[in-house]
Structure 1
Amino acid sequence: MEDSEDRSDTTHDDSEEINDSPIEQVRLTVPITDDPSQPALTFRTWVLGLLSCIVLAFVNQFFSYRTNPLFISPLSAQILSLPLGKLMAATLPGKQIRVPLTRWSFSMNPGPFNLKEHVLITIFAGSGSSGVYAIGIITIVKAFYHRSIHPLAAYLLALTSQMIGFGWAGVFRKFLVDSPYMWWPANLVQVSLFRAFHEKQRRPKAGITRLQFFFLIFATSFAYYTIPGYFFHSISAISFVCLIWKNSITAQQIGSGMSGLGLGSFGLDWNTVAGFLGSPLAIPGFVIVNILVGFCLFLYVVVPIAYWTNAYEAKKFPLFSSHTFDSTGANYNVTRVLNHANFNIDMDQYNSYSKLYLSVLFALTYGLSFAILTATISHVCLFHGKTIYQMWKKTTDQLKARHFADVHTRIMKKNYEQVPERWFISILIIMGGLALFACQGFGGQLQLPWWGVLFSFAIAFVFTLPLGVIQATTNMRTGLNVITELIIGYIYPGKPLANVVFKTYGDSSMAHALAFVSDFKLGHYMKIPPKSMFIVQLAGTVVASLVYYGAAWWLLTTVENICDPSLLSEGSPWTCPWDDVFYNASIIWGVIGPKRMFTKDGIYPQMNWFFLIGLLAPVPVWILSHKFPNQKWIPLINMPIIFSGAGGLLPAKSVNYIMWGIVGIFFNLYVYRRFKGWWARHTYILSAALDAGVAFTGVLLFFALQSYDIHGPTWWGLEAGDHCSLAKCPTAPGVLAPEGCPTFF
């Protein structure tokens, strides 16, 4: 989540800015020229774009099941496609090739590789890197609940949850794309990068080009990752406290970077840094500071107080766990409360068994998710409400006049044929029908009734525009996952798959709609023909959905005991940390339901106070920022980001946050201030090269060795954890301790 400063001073009267944008940041970044003769959707675009989409989709899904996941951003493809495109332009023949049985013809080499091709290739790559949320449902069904799901139902779920967003994007594009006041701040970074890539580069004196720097770091990262990825897994998380106090539960709870507070813990693996939280090199310094403040307050103040005062019987359970438990401290046996025939809760069995318990850290993390929601609303209203209202009023005024004053919209309307509204509506109708078929057909395996599907669509439709306006003007992103699972959890409790499917259609479709709209705005700035942009987004989404689904199904059916650490062989990385949290969330919100968790019928009704805490938290910051307007650091205190600072804990671990923060502060505060020229030239490329090196090595190790169950030499350092086994032990007397843990009396 990123914030931006109050933009109330960045707009100007439309009559003054008739030949440019009314937004100052756009005027300073986006060129007002266009060459409509430049080819965009070329043979090179299709080849490099589809290749980028397929590779990123496969690699990101492949790594999502591993102990330290890795996300490869489109930046890698954005960097690599430039020299490859130029190579194709220099070597491919320019002769026209006729498509058999049609009047169509094309050239493999229509001229120099240009910026418009580069943008479309990056959009393709973005489709491949964006992920498919519905794959988590397929994973928990097969790997955690150990039930079957029809392959076609699974694929339709994956495809429709992505494509429904096209419909919402088409409906709202005139508000969120055509309006110059919906300026999408994050896109300006992309515009700057594209302009930098296509400027003529001069080799610095006694230096190297950006491309040479990329390949140098890539080769280093590629070679180095063989150490943490194969020979020495333990180097990913080293906890000195555990190596010194080998028999102390408390010491290991404090020192473990994987199962505790992580004091004194660190990792020598880029995957530890970027695996869960993404690369810190692309995050502004003030955002990193806010996240670390939230992380430290939560993990080093709130959680220890709650645990060592035994709040919610915390000592019965591990300090740091995303699992669910019963009243005895054992893992919650969900099969005891689920009716096997119809896969919903059996209330008689539930009442005779136990209420659901969480580790205190997991419970408080849900409290944070409540606070993030209300804090975002409060922060946006206080700090950006006036600006949003002004920009929205200007947008509606210009819509009524059927005229937008900025030059970018006029160029796009004049030079290019627009995408017909019926294209979007057709996709919405077709995908809506397929979604209903997926949920109602196949014996009702997905559990969600027809009215639940339509209700989830209605939620996505209602929230897309207001949340889109907030993101387009402030760069603040808000999801609907908590709201959707809360709503369906109350309305339709006891059905785990219905809950996660409803959440997927309600939250994921809206998120994809805003991603499509954001890409359309990038194309708007870069003067990409709208129909070419639409075709690339459509093709990229279909291909990415198929690749994500295929990669997941392949791994789920070929990797023995995937997602079950207790049965995996030593050194196996297939522990599925994201899906473990997703599975337990389906138990909390779906099987048990929020009524039996967060009201007087459950254990954690006090978590609801976090809604009020989040709502009020931005108010003191807003008051101080107005009382002391000369203190520029006060508005940088962002309460939604602070609350979300620890929101990634579970599945992320403390060592991930510690290393992410160290690297982020070093590069985006120290290097940025002391060596700004180097930072501007190399930081993003460094991030992409490190990611790419780890990804290529990880995939190579799997196909060459790990697919044959060869996980490295058997020795002390092969353990994927940090040798802090006691950190997972409960400390309450009388609890049946897991194997390897002492029993307290």
Structure 2
Amino acid sequence: MAYREKDAIVPASELPTLGHVDVLNEGEYVDEKVGSLSSRDSLDDATDRDEVVLVKGEPVITTGRDVSRFLLDTRDDGDPALTFRSAVLGTVFAGLGAALCQIYLFKPIQVGVSTVFLLLLIYSVGTAWAAILPRATWVEGTRFARLAPILHFINPGDFHLKEHVVASLVASTAAGGSSAVMNFAVQRLYYDTNVHATTAVLATFSTACFGYGLVGLLRPLTVYPSEMVYWANLPTVSIFQAMHFDSTANHKRIKLFWTAFSGMFLYEVIPSYIFPLLNGINIICLTTQRAPAKAVDVITNLFGGTDGNEGLGMFALSFDWQYITSLPLSFPLVQQANSWVGIIICYVALMGIYYSNLWNSLAFPMLSTSLFSSNGSLYDQLAVFGNTFQLNQTALNEIGLPALTGSNAWSSLTQNLAIGGLIAHCVLFWSPYVVASFKQARTGTQPDPHWKAMQRYNEAPWYWYACLLVLAFVAGLIVVLRGETTLPWWAYILALALGAVVTPFSTLLYARMGNGIATNQLMKMVAGAVNPGRPVANLYFSMWSHDVVATSINLAGDLKMGQYLKIPPRVMFLTQVWGTILGAIINYGMLPIFSIILASSYIDSASGQSVQTLNSAAVTWSLAKELYGPGGPYFIIPMALLIGIAPTLLQWLIAKRWQKIGPIKVHDIMLPIIYSYSANMSVGTNSTVVSTIIVGIVSQVWLRRYHPGWYKKYNYILGGALDGGAQVMIFILSFAVFGASGAARPFPAWAGNPATGNVDYCNGNGALD
């Protein structure tokens, strides 16, 4: 046994068969079973024997290669994937997923519809289907034997892994492909326009399928390699494998899953309905109730954060898992560490901007995405743009230019910084990886064990994806020429081209680190330049550029899940196309529910902030020359796109000379992530920040480094269980008491659910007026 203690260190070179072992922390040791671990990865290419840290005989999951070799099983039982049962279940639950997606779209923190929630429901129904409906074996040797093929078609037997995955991905694709619907909501809410069904369905289909076509062509880069992990999917993959792979270890994981799921399901009703103060307990807010009014205003701005756009939520503790989510259990430590740096900057920057009165910030709320007149009143955009959705210069001269809050301007600035930094980081740091990935795909030498296991199946040809690109292009062109978009055809083509250029960069970051970069500002900046004075055209330009990027990332993550779970590539193609079509139809059908949700004061006073943000950006960028041009008040915002490149270039030059500075690896500094998180609290509910950091430290520092065996077996499935329990309860409460099905039924007021003011008792800035 080789180990490190205070007085004895065995050189790594003396350890058997591993190419390299990191120096271990005090008290950690490498078990003598290391040789069996080396043989377990069964990789022939010596380059794949990269750094592996072992603690108590278990590998510490750090890189994407660790995930592929040690965390996820390469097992493939060869069970059927696309069946009548999986198609029906996927179609039925696509509607449910889309409904829940729209509910969350209008909540103050944007939470995606968890695949865990959908897969649990599908598993329950699929298992019941297999047990209750007649099987072919029931009629063998009887006079009804001729019915056996029909019965087998309807009920092929036990509900297996691949059927379960296909049904879940159809449902989740339909639920996740709805971002374009926000454009239609903006037109309905701000411009009193009802978008026709043909426009909505074809536009949504065009956006999603164009993104999917791009994903298919980029698979060698963004899906096949081990480092393309899509970390947020790991809880889902772990649950799938635990549910369907029968072993002693999986029995323990399943027991943990159902225990955690049930506990969170029962608990979630407390913070979300009965005791909402639990979403943001802040000692400073509670102990300053009698402070002077001006002091309370400052305290609310810095420490309040339980209500939408209330404050920055510093030191608040949230106990509401629906907002914490499993992401801090999933994201790698390097991503979270960079995000923590950005969050610290955010506290300083937003308070500094507001109280220094930069951009006339003191005239407006500290946090808001609304547009304001210079006197602090809400901006009358209808008077400026009218029913034609085009600029009325005379009205603009009378009313004046709109103004952004300081936090909104800072958010736009940092988004552009992040885009510039992202492009620079990919080109300077990751270009060798890009070249190597395409070479491996061309020569069939990709070393990822899951990719190798998939070689038994026929690949979906590249021209399938190319045809999908053409269909998506034609569908979008019909919308532009016939729909209510005000977007010229040439601007539509430019939007698609811009989205296609940005997609590889954003997908690379998301796949490797777990989060992408908001590209909306870049797209709206270009839209404003080519379509001045047309806010609705700006919306659609962004849809066919930014939303293509967002959709591509989601669909690429699903393709990676298919690789992890051994879904045949051609089945995956059909699954995602069908899910996309369903999403286009169902999400348009959900539009009437928007008015119910927005009308419910209980859901959130800040409901619809995503739609509000989208509209604000469209309006301001349609006035790009006046607001963002040289001499305009926000000229620094478009310039940030170029400014963001310079620090990454400097970082790259430093990395060529010094790979480490103290304990920090220079290439682990992710400036795009830091920029992005430095405006993370510029909108919405911010009381969850500290809790997510604590969860991340417990999971990614303590468990991952010091209890890697427990981490490997239970970390991701625990996160999925907690997500599933919370979202199932939220879905029930949304229709039972939150007003999604009609009138809301608020819980009676008490100390944990105050009737007036902010929930966390930070009652400055007119909260009690």
TM-score (norm 1): 0.81
Deviation at 1:337, TM superposition (A): 1.3
Deviation at 1:518, TM superposition (A): 4.7
* Range with greater deviation from structure 2 (625-634 or 347-356): 625-634
Contact 2:208 2:548 in 1 (8 A): yes
Deviation at 1:696, TM superposition (A): 2.7
* Range with greater deviation from structure 2 (21-30 or 232-241): 21-30
The reply to whether residue 348 of structure 1 matches residue 394 of structure 2 is yes
**Deviation per CA, 1:571-590, whole angstroms, max 9, x where unpaired?**
75672222222222222223
The AA in structure 2 aligned to 1:135 is V
Contact 1:570 1:719 in 2 (8 A): no
Pick the aligned partner of 1:655 from 671, 677, 687: 687
**Deviation per CA, 1:33-90, whole angstroms, max 9, x where unpaired?**
7665x32212442344334433332212222213444323223445665676556555
Pick the aligned partner of 2:664 from 623, 627, 633: 633
In the alignment, the residues of structure 2 paired with residue 409 and residue 691 of structure 1 have an alpha-carbon distance, to the nearest angstrom, of 29
In the alignment, the residues of structure 2 paired with residue 223 and residue 409 of structure 1 have an alpha-carbon distance, to the nearest angstrom, of 40
In structure 1, runs of 5+ residues without a counterpart are 1-7, 11-16, 563-567, 730-738
The AA in structure 2 aligned to 1:555 is I
* Range with greater deviation from structure 2 (477-486 or 324-333): 477-486
**Are residues 231 and 143 of structure 1, via their aligned partners in 2, closer, same or farther at CA, if it must alter by over 3 Å?**
farther
Which residue of 2 is the match for residue 313 of structure 1?
360
**Deviation per CA, 1:336-375, whole angstroms, max 9, x where unpaired?**
31133x1111122212222222221211111111110111
User: 1:97-136, aligned counterparts within 5 Å?
Assistant: 106-136=152-182
In the alignment, the residues of structure 2 paired with residue 405 and residue 364 of structure 1 have an alpha-carbon distance, to the nearest angstrom, of 42
User: 1:455-470, aligned counterparts within 5 Å?
Assistant: 455-464=494-503
**Deviation per CA, 1:229-252, whole angstroms, max 9, x where unpaired?**
333444433444444236232233
SS in 1 for 2:230: helix
SS in 2 for 1:512: helix
User: 1:142-221, aligned counterparts within 5 Å?
Assistant: 142-173=188-219, 184-186=228-230, 189=234, 195=241, 197-202=243-248, 209-221=252-264
Deviation at 1:260, TM superposition (A): 2.3
Deviation at 1:175, TM superposition (A): 6.7
Which residue of 2 is the match for residue 694 of structure 1?
726
In the alignment, the residues of structure 1 paired with residue 105 and residue 494 of structure 2 have an alpha-carbon distance, to the nearest angstrom, of 30
Contact 1:488 1:502 in 2 (8 A): yes
**Deviation per CA, 1:148-198, whole angstroms, max 9, x where unpaired?**
332332233223221222333444557766xx6686233894766655554
**Are residues 388 and 105 of structure 1, via their aligned partners in 2, closer, same or farther at CA, if it must alter by over 3 Å?**
same
The AA in structure 2 aligned to 1:260 is G
In the alignment, the residues of structure 2 paired with residue 21 and residue 515 of structure 1 have an alpha-carbon distance, to the nearest angstrom, of 33
User: 1:170-319, aligned counterparts within 5 Å?
Assistant: 170-173=216-219, 184-186=228-230, 189=234, 195=241, 197-202=243-248, 209-243=252-286, 244=288, 245=291, 247-248=293-294, 249-257=297-305, 258=307, 259-274=310-325, 279-299=327-347, 301-319=348-366
Deviation at 1:441, TM superposition (A): 1.8
Contact 1:322 1:584 in 2 (8 A): yes
Which residue of 1 is the match for residue 39 of structure 2?
none
Pick the aligned partner of 1:57 from 85, 92, 98: 98
In the alignment, the residues of structure 2 paired with residue 268 and residue 474 of structure 1 have an alpha-carbon distance, to the nearest angstrom, of 26
Deviation at 1:501, TM superposition (A): 0.8
Which residue of 2 is the match for residue 366 of structure 1?
412
In the alignment, the residues of structure 2 paired with residue 644 and residue 130 of structure 1 have an alpha-carbon distance, to the nearest angstrom, of 22
**Are residues 626 and 19 of structure 1, via their aligned partners in 2, closer, same or farther at CA, if it must alter by over 3 Å?**
closer
Which residue of 2 is the match for residue 709 of structure 1?
744
The reply to whether residue 507 of structure 1 matches residue 550 of structure 2 is no
The reply to whether residue 432 of structure 1 matches residue 476 of structure 2 is no
Which residue of 2 is the match for residue 565 of structure 1?
none
In the alignment, the residues of structure 2 paired with residue 175 and residue 322 of structure 1 have an alpha-carbon distance, to the nearest angstrom, of 36
The reply to whether residue 600 of structure 1 matches residue 630 of structure 2 is yes
Pick the aligned partner of 2:592 from 538, 554, 561: 554
**Are residues 683 and 467 of structure 1, via their aligned partners in 2, closer, same or farther at CA, if it must alter by over 3 Å?**
closer
In the alignment, the residues of structure 1 paired with residue 695 and residue 507 of structure 2 have an alpha-carbon distance, to the nearest angstrom, of 32
The AA in structure 2 aligned to 1:721 is N
Which residue of 1 is the match for residue 57 of structure 2?
none
Deviation at 1:475, TM superposition (A): 7.1
**Deviation per CA, 1:409-451, whole angstroms, max 9, x where unpaired?**
78756x4444455644444333333322223224xx2211222
Deviation at 1:507, TM superposition (A): 2.2
User: 1:525-540, aligned counterparts within 5 Å?
Assistant: 526-540=565-579
**Deviation per CA, 1:536-555, whole angstroms, max 9, x where unpaired?**
1111222233333323x131
In the alignment, the residues of structure 1 paired with residue 730 and residue 157 of structure 2 have an alpha-carbon distance, to the nearest angstrom, of 37
Identity of aligned residues (%): 24
**Deviation per CA, 1:453-486, whole angstroms, max 9, x where unpaired?**
2222222344445666676778774554332211
In the alignment, the residues of structure 1 paired with residue 692 and residue 349 of structure 2 have an alpha-carbon distance, to the nearest angstrom, of 21
Which residue of 2 is the match for residue 331 of structure 1?
378
In the alignment, the residues of structure 2 paired with residue 224 and residue 193 of structure 1 have an alpha-carbon distance, to the nearest angstrom, of 21
The AA in structure 1 aligned to 2:664 is W
TM-score (norm 2): 0.79
**Are residues 475 and 674 of structure 1, via their aligned partners in 2, closer, same or farther at CA, if it must alter by over 3 Å?**
closer
**Deviation per CA, 1:192-229, whole angstroms, max 9, x where unpaired?**
6655554433279xxx8333333333333333333333
The reply to whether residue 646 of structure 1 matches residue 683 of structure 2 is no
In the alignment, the residues of structure 2 paired with residue 607 and residue 461 of structure 1 have an alpha-carbon distance, to the nearest angstrom, of 23
Contact 1:60 1:131 in 2 (8 A): no
Contact 1:332 1:356 in 2 (8 A): yes
* Range with greater deviation from structure 2 (168-177 or 41-50): 168-177
Contact 1:181 1:391 in 2 (8 A): yes
SS in 1 for 2:544: helix
Which residue of 2 is the match for residue 732 of structure 1?
none
Number of positions where the alignment pairs a residue of Structure 1 with one of Structure 2: 689
In the alignment, the residues of structure 2 paired with residue 185 and residue 34 of structure 1 have an alpha-carbon distance, to the nearest angstrom, of 19
In the alignment, the residues of structure 2 paired with residue 649 and residue 503 of structure 1 have an alpha-carbon distance, to the nearest angstrom, of 23
Deviation at 1:504, TM superposition (A): 0.9
**Are residues 196 and 616 of structure 1, via their aligned partners in 2, closer, same or farther at CA, if it must alter by over 3 Å?**
farther
In the alignment, the residues of structure 2 paired with residue 281 and residue 27 of structure 1 have an alpha-carbon distance, to the nearest angstrom, of 18
Pick the aligned partner of 1:74 from 112, 115, 125: 115
Contact 2:108 2:684 in 1 (8 A): no
In the alignment, the residues of structure 1 paired with residue 617 and residue 301 of structure 2 have an alpha-carbon distance, to the nearest angstrom, of 24
The AA in structure 2 aligned to 1:223 is L
RMSD in angstroms over aligned alpha carbons?
3.9
The AA in structure 1 aligned to 2:551 is H
Contact 2:369 2:404 in 1 (8 A): yes
In structure 2, runs of 5+ residues without a counterpart are 1-18, 22-41, 50-64
Deviation at 1:713, TM superposition (A): 2.0
